[in-house]
Amino acid sequence: AQSVAQPEDQVNVAEGNPLTVKCTYSVSGNPYLFWYVQYPNRGLQFLLKYITGDNLVKGSYGFEAEFNKSQTSFHLKKPSALVSDSALYFCAVRSGGSQGNLIFGKGTKLSVKP
Amino acid sequence: NAGVTQTPKFRILKIGQSMTLQCTQDMNHNYMYWYRQDPGMGLKLIYYSVGAGITDKGEVPNGYNVSRSTTEDFPLRLELAAPSQTSVYFCASSFGTGRDEQFFGPGTRLTVL
């Protein structure tokens, strides 16, 4: 069965500091991995995805994520956090070899303080 | 290009009432989805469609029905509303599945009292 875990309910970061939002997954076969962001009272917005190729994926708003197959992780990172990055972040996974649907993590609330 | 639009934005229902949540996309996407979001629970898939005339159940389909008569529209029907259906509902679409990201609507906040 497919699953995805976001071990932190909340991450607090000072503006200008690097941020990491963690995600681990479990799928059969090769994973397709996604990060989405949700601002208050809005729908989810796509940030980036890993399908194949380079393990470091760059996405919108300066975010990047590193796929680590041995650790089954896909952590979201940004070198310098902004207050406007404060939002709810969702990791999602799908098995590349199946017809299964996208499975979302429970979300991590990122709070960036000035 | 409006993307994915949903109506209404908010709705309060009484137990036992019915309603239809509307969803329309103008990106000519084949795949459409309905999710519900409950606090601290992430998103759960209710129903999805791979094209006009084809729908299938997701993880939590009980109490809901869908139809897909056109590529653009994917309405979600709630019959006999229950307090457990209080949630935020999101419609999404994608060109294909697997590798393609999903585009989300702004959501409908539903309260059943």
pLDDT for B17-56, tens place per residue?
999 999 999 999 999 999 999 988 889 999 999 999 999 9
Q: Which residues of B touch A9 (CB under 8 A)?
A: 40
Closest CA to B6 of B20, A103, B100, B83: B20
* Pairwise CB contact (< 8 Å): B41 & A106: yes
Q: What is the pLDDT of residue A55?
A: 95
Instruction: Reply yes or no: is the peptide bond before residue A7 cis, omega within 30 of 0.
Output: no
Residue B5 at interface with chain A, using a CB cutoff of 8 Å: no
pLDDT in tens, A10-57: 999 999 999 999 999 998 888 999 999 999 989 999 999 999 999 999
pLDDT in tens, A78-97: 999 999 999 999 999 987 66
Write the CA distances from B96 to A94, A99, B2, integer angstroms. Answer: 13, 12, 19
Residue A54 at interface with chain B, using a CB cutoff of 8 Å: no
**pLDDT above 90: residue A68:** yes
